[in-house]
A and B are shown apart, each in its own frame.
Chain A
Amino acid sequence: MTITDIVLIVAAALFIGVYVSWRAGRIDRLHARVDMARAALDATLLRRSSVSLELATSGLLDPATSLLLAAAVHGTRSAGPGGVVPTEAGRPRDLAESDLTRALRAAFSQPDFRSSMTGKEGADELLAEVEEATHQVFLARKFYNDVVALTREARSRPLARLLRLSGKAPAPVFFDMDDSLIADLPSATLAPPAGSAPLAG
């Protein structure tokens, strides 16, 4: 064995080591991004819940619609695991959040819903805020599912599987829900309702 051979072997080992640790680092960064996206999604869902509750108790709506919205919000608060952030037992969170979407949609899609609100103090601001919050949920969920798809793909590479590069981190799961926006937004840009919704990635 000559000096050249030894140098070559050491260089190859070094190269492999650097490559593997780069792959591992990438997977680690992806997991961190998933965590961030999950926190962002959680925040937007909570924001949507609280704005919806504000609308329900605002006195702008009739009592039946109020009760319907409040019940849906209550459902999201007491939802169990099944979504991004596990909470205490109850209905799976993705289903509960989809229910809130449908309740909001039912309220907003009443004919002349808008015109019945005009002229009422604070109504326009509150309705705009609900729509804004719902749109944010749509965006945050899209970004979350995006990075989940990337992460799952990186984890499933043969090298990553062979060397267990993802360590003990559990595989991130997609968050699937009905978040098709309520009134007045072009539905073409929106995700189809849950059930028919393809998973991102």
Chain B
Amino acid sequence: MKIGIVCPYSWDVPGGVQQHIRDLAEALIEAGHDVSVISPADDDTPLPPYVTGAGRAVPVPYNGSVARLSFGFLSASRVRRWVNQGGFDVLHVHEPEIPSLSLLACWVASGPIVATVHTAIPRSRVLVVTYPVLRTALEKISGRIAVSEAARTTLVEHIGGDAVVIPNGVATHRYRKAEPLPGWPGAGGAIGFLGRLDEPRKGLAVLLKAFEILGQDRPGLRLLVAGPAADAEEVLYRVPAWLRDRIVLLGQVSEDDKIRVLHSVDVFCSPNTGGESFGIVTAEAMAAGVPVVASDIDAFRQVLHGGEAGELFATGDARDLARAAGQLLDDPARRATLSAAAVAAVARYDWSVVARDVLRVYETVVLGSTRVAVAQDTGGYPSRGWLP
């Protein structure tokens, strides 16, 4: 199948959508499909062979923050050229409601178009006002995918229409092997945490309290914390002074270092108190084969097979977390069992499996449709033909 994928955000900036597209594209290529991605990118950025650059994204204010987006007729004509040359069977746009390449792709193309919604923004007056302008573009979408139930609900309630839920995949092969950070995990054992430090729902506070309990009778135990925070040092002041030099803060880490962090600890902890629809970080830890201790929220219960592939503790209960993590730290055999179970359990979230689900959507929208082509009514750019 010839597949064209449109990325709305700069390829050179790390982000969830970009990573999703990269993993999906690589899984599809692996499965023998012909994939081309178009994405905003700086001209001097080295791009993988399957990515076509659509020029530099421009920083503009959008929704109260500054986003780097590609818009305007020059970007539109680049997308048109790409569509024209690609001869795609299906076009897959991501985040079409963001004013960037994906929206432009919907505008300039005709034929089977699949759209993936990552973060559904409640429909605002903006969309209503510009709806005549957007309608022609968005109405061409023949199948929608939402990456989480939450995104789907917002879509159904606020934008209308329905979507199939296909969660993010995990590129498990990327996680399987990595060199631990020098000196880790160390003889005294180590616990790991990944996520925003100052987002209360990520639950770092629960872990710190549990670490205080564990640290009292485990003198060598250390805590490895990776993730961005407005004020990382503040974290250290939440624990007693005698414990502080046993907590190592790495700040935001690169994708590669994240995998090394996972391989640097004996136990990985996901203490989230809620707000998690899938728990991608937990799944990544499982893919790395690290025994996981996670709070007992629906998302983790599901990914950990109800506790078979990792320990669950009462959500928000530091004492229970200390008990569960302590037992694991003391029991290498149990850790090995959980590690193997985790690797097996996470296989069903692998991108190769997820890509098959996406492919099924492609196959459905392609039925009874022609190929992707440049839309007639915008052929002679710039025309006003797309107005209702």
Q: Which residues of A contact B (CB under 8 A)?
A: 53, 56-57, 59-60, 62-68, 70-72, 74-75, 91, 98-99, 102-103, 106-107, 110-113, 116-117, 120
Whether B104 contacts A64 by the Cβ 8 Å rule is yes
Whether B384 contacts A63 by the Cβ 8 Å rule is no
Given A63-B107, A63-B134, the answer on whether A107 and B126 have CB atoms closer than 8 Å is no
Residues in chain A near residue B270, CB distance under 8 A: none
Q: Considering only CB atoms, which chain A residue lies closest to B135 in the complex? A: A63
Given A59-B386, A63-B104, A120-B384, the answer on whether A74 and B129 have CB atoms closer than 8 Å is yes
* CB < 8 Å neighbour of B99 from A53, A65, A120: A65
* CB < 8 Å neighbour of A59 from B71, B101, B387: B387
Kindly provide the distance from the CB of B176 to the nearest chain A CB, expressed in whole angstroms: 40
* A62, B129: Cα distance in complex, Å: 15
Of A63, A68, A98, A107, the most chain B CB neighbours within 10 A belong to A63
Whether B99 contacts A71 by the Cβ 8 Å rule is yes
Q: Considering only CB atoms, which chain A residue lies closest to B105 in the complex? A: A64
Residues in chain B near residue A65, CB distance under 8 A: 71-72, 99
Kindly provide the distance from the CB of B388 to the nearest chain A CB, expressed in whole angstroms: 9
Q: In this assembly, does B264 line the interface, its C-beta being within 8 Å of a C-beta of chain A?
A: no
Kindly provide the distance from the CB of B79 to the nearest chain A CB, expressed in whole angstroms: 10
Kindly provide the distance from the CB of B334 to the nearest chain A CB, expressed in whole angstroms: 52
Given A63-B107, A63-B134, A68-B99, the answer on whether A110 and B72 have CB atoms closer than 8 Å is yes
Whether B99 contacts A63 by the Cβ 8 Å rule is yes
Q: Considering only CB atoms, which chain A residue lies closest to B107 in the complex? A: A63
Of A67, A74, A75, A106, the most chain B CB neighbours within 10 A belong to A67
Q: Which residues of B contact A (CB under 8 A)?
A: 58, 60-64, 69-76, 99-101, 103-104, 106-107, 124-127, 129-130, 132-134, 137, 382, 384, 386-387
Of B73, B74, B103, B384, the most chain A CB neighbours within 10 A belong to B73
Known A-B contacts: A62-B107, A110-B74, A116-B73. Give 18 more (CB < 8 A): A57-B129, A60-B382, A62-B76, A63-B103, A63-B104, A63-B133, A64-B71, A64-B72, A64-B103, A66-B99, A70-B126, A71-B126, A72-B62, A75-B61, A106-B60, A106-B71, A111-B74, A120-B384
* CB < 8 Å neighbour of A72 from B61, B75, B124: B61
* A66, B109: Cα distance in complex, Å: 18
Q: Considering only CB atoms, which chain B residue lies closest to A100 in the complex? A: B61
Whether B72 contacts A103 by the Cβ 8 Å rule is no
Residues in chain B near residue A110, CB distance under 8 A: 72-74
A-B contact pairs, 8 of them (CB 8 A): A56-B129, A62-B73, A64-B101, A67-B126, A68-B71, A68-B99, A71-B99, A102-B60
Whether B382 contacts A62 by the Cβ 8 Å rule is yes
Given A56-B130, A59-B133, the answer on whether A64 and B99 have CB atoms closer than 8 Å is yes
* A103, B69: Cα distance in complex, Å: 11
Whether A64 contacts B75 by the Cβ 8 Å rule is yes
Kindly provide the distance from the CB of B124 to the nearest chain A CB, expressed in whole angstroms: 7
Whether A57 contacts B60 by the Cβ 8 Å rule is no
* A138, B387: Cα distance in complex, Å: 33
Whether A106 contacts B58 by the Cβ 8 Å rule is yes
Residues in chain A near residue B101, CB distance under 8 A: 64
Q: Considering only CB atoms, which chain B residue lies closest to A121 in the complex? A: B384
* A163, B71: Cα distance in complex, Å: 58
Residues in chain A near residue B133, CB distance under 8 A: 56-57, 59, 63, 66-67, 70
Kindly provide the distance from the CB of B62 to the nearest chain A CB, expressed in whole angstroms: 6
Whether A60 contacts B384 by the Cβ 8 Å rule is yes
Of A57, A64, A68, A120, the most chain B CB neighbours within 10 A belong to A64
* A111, B61: Cα distance in complex, Å: 19
Residues in chain B near residue A60, CB distance under 8 A: 382, 384
* A56, B58: Cα distance in complex, Å: 18
Residues in chain A near residue B69, CB distance under 8 A: 64, 68
Whether B130 contacts A66 by the Cβ 8 Å rule is yes
Residues in chain A near residue B126, CB distance under 8 A: 67, 70-71, 74
Of B74, B127, B130, the most chain A CB neighbours within 10 A belong to B130
* A148, B211: Cα distance in complex, Å: 57
Kindly provide the distance from the CB of A46 to the nearest chain B CB, expressed in whole angstroms: 16
* A75, B72: Cα distance in complex, Å: 21
Whether B71 contacts A62 by the Cβ 8 Å rule is yes
Of B127, B134, B382, the most chain A CB neighbours within 10 A belong to B382
Whether A67 contacts B103 by the Cβ 8 Å rule is yes
Whether A57 contacts B132 by the Cβ 8 Å rule is yes
* A171, B75: Cα distance in complex, Å: 48
Kindly provide the distance from the CB of B387 to the nearest chain A CB, expressed in whole angstroms: 4
* CB < 8 Å neighbour of B60 from A62, A91, A103, A113: A103
Kindly provide the distance from the CB of B383 to the nearest chain A CB, expressed in whole angstroms: 9
* A75, B60: Cα distance in complex, Å: 13
Kindly provide the distance from the CB of B343 to the nearest chain A CB, expressed in whole angstroms: 42
